[in-house]
Amino acid sequence: MDGGWAAQDGSAHAVALEVLTAGPISRSALARRLGLSQSSLSRLTKPLLESGLLVEADAGSDDEQGRRVGRPRQPLDVAADTRRFIGVKVTADAAHGVCVDLRCAEVARHDVALASRGVGDVVAAVADVVARLTRDRAADGIGVSISGPVRGGRSVVGSPFLGWEGEIALADLVESATGIPTTLSNDLVALTHAEQWFGAGRDAANVAVVTVGAGVGFGLIAGGRVVASDDDGVGHVGHIPLDPAGPLCFAGHRGCAAALLTIDAICGQVSVGLGRTVDYDEVLTLARRADGVARTAVEAAAVALGRLVALASNFTFARTIVISGEGDGVLDVARDAFEEAIAPLRDNRADPLEIVVRPADFVEWARGAAAMAIRAHVLR
C-alpha cells in the first residue's frame, strides 16, 4: 500500500491529520476528538500503522533507576523524520531558508544574500538555498513566504520591500528552478498557519498573532481556523491610531502603529534626538542604559504594542497573543510599560492574556513558509 498522504481516503486522512496536529495522542483521546468508536478508530489506524504513516510512540515513564513503571501506553504519532520540507523567507536583502521535518522541527538552516531585488536574482537565491539544504536528502516540498498579497498560493501581487509591482508567478518560477513542488504565501499568513498547526493553536482555538519589525502585522486563528482574505499583506493594522500625540508615519498619520512600532520609525526618532544615526541594536542598548532619548522611544513603542495587543484581543476574543518579529526587543527593555498599557483597555472581569513571544530571527518566518509546504503536502 502507498503510505503517502494523498493515498488516504477521507476518514483515514482525517485520522492522520489529527495525529499530525495534535499528537502524540492516545487512541482514546483521538477517538473523542473525531467522534469515533474505538473499533472504528482501530480499523482506520491499522493500515496507517502498517504503511508507516503513523507510528506508536512509547509514552511510558522511568523510575529513578531508569526502569519502566506503570502500564505501558503507546500513543499514536506521525513518522516525522520520513519527510523533509524547505521553507524560505524572502526579505529585501536575502533568502532565509530552513529545512524541517513533518512536525516543522528545524533540521538545518542556510541564508543566501540577494544579488539584487530583481525577480531573477530572487529566484536564483531561493534555488541556491534549496540546493544547499537538500544536498544530503531530497525535499518533499518547498514553501516560500514574501511580503505582499498572494493569490492562489502561486503569485505575489506586488511586494513593497522588494520594489515589485504587478503579478509575479513566483511559485512557478521556483518550481521550475528546483523541480520540487512549491507553494507561495504571504509571510504573516504563513506564520499564522504555523502557529495553528505547530504552535499556540494546538492548545487554543482563538489566537492573535502580532508582528513588529519592518512593518506591523496581524494574523488571526478563530475557532481553530486561520482567518484569511485576498487583502492579506496590504497592511491592515499598520495605521491603527494608538497615540494621538505620537509622531507622524510616512503616510502622515499621527501616532499610528507604523509610526510607533516599526524599527525604522524607532531608529529615526532616536537618531533625530541624538543628532546621529543609530541602528536598532544600539537603540535597545542605550535604552537599557537609561539614555533619555532612547528610553522614551522604546517605552512609547512598548505602550503602543500593549494597546495594539489589547485591541486585538478585545475585538477577536483571542486570549492567547503571539508576538514575533525583529522588533520585539522592546519587550526585553520595557516589558512593564507594555503590560501596564494593556490593563486600562481590558475589562477587569476578562480573563488575563497569555502572551507568547517567539524568536525574532528570520528562521521563524522561514518555518512559517515550511509549514505551508507541509500543509500543501498533506492536504492535497
Domain boundaries, the chain: 5-81, 83-193+364-379, 201-358
What element of type H or E holds 285?
helix 280-288
The structure's pTM equals: 0.89
Domains 83-193+364-379 and 201-358 fall in the same CATH topology: yes
Superfamily in which the 201-358 domain is placed by CATH: ATPase, nucleotide binding domain (3.30.420.40)
Cα distance between residue 307 and residue 315, in whole Å: 12
DSSP H or E segment with residue 46: helix 38-51
pLDDT at residue number 84? 97
Amino acid at 13: H
Cell of 218: 496581524
Distance CA 91, CA 96 (A): 8
CATH topology of domain 5-81: Arc Repressor Mutant, subunit A (1.10.10)
pLDDT (tens place) for every residue of the chain, 380 residues total = 345 787 677 888 999 999 999 989 999 999 999 999 999 999 999 999 988 899 998 755 444 454 545 444 689 999 999 999 999 999 999 999 999 999 999 999 999 999 999 999 999 999 999 999 999 999 999 999 998 899 999 999 988 889 999 999 999 999 999 999 999 999 999 999 999 999 999 989 999 999 999 889 999 999 999 998 766 655 678 899 999 999 998 889 999 999 999 999 999 999 999 999 999 999 999 999 999 999 999 999 999 999 999 999 999 999 999 999 999 999 999 999 999 999 999 998 999 999 999 877 888 999 999 999 999 999 97
CATH fold, domain 83-193+364-379, is: Nucleotidyltransferase; domain 5 (3.30.420)
Question: What φ, ψ does residue 323 adopt, rounded to 5°?
Answer: -115, 130
Amino acid in the structure at residue 122: V
The helices-and-strands tally (H runs, E runs) of the chain is 12, 17
For 162, which DSSP code?
A: T
Q: How many CB atoms lie within 10 A of CB 350?
A: 12
Q: What is the Cα–Cα distance from 13 to 19, expressed in whole angstroms?
A: 10
Calculate the CA dihedral of residues 33, 39, 41, 44 and round it to 10 degrees: -160
| DSSP line for 176-235 | HHH-S-EEEEEHHHHHHHHHHHHSGGGT-S-EEEEEESSSEEEEEEETTEE---TTTTS-
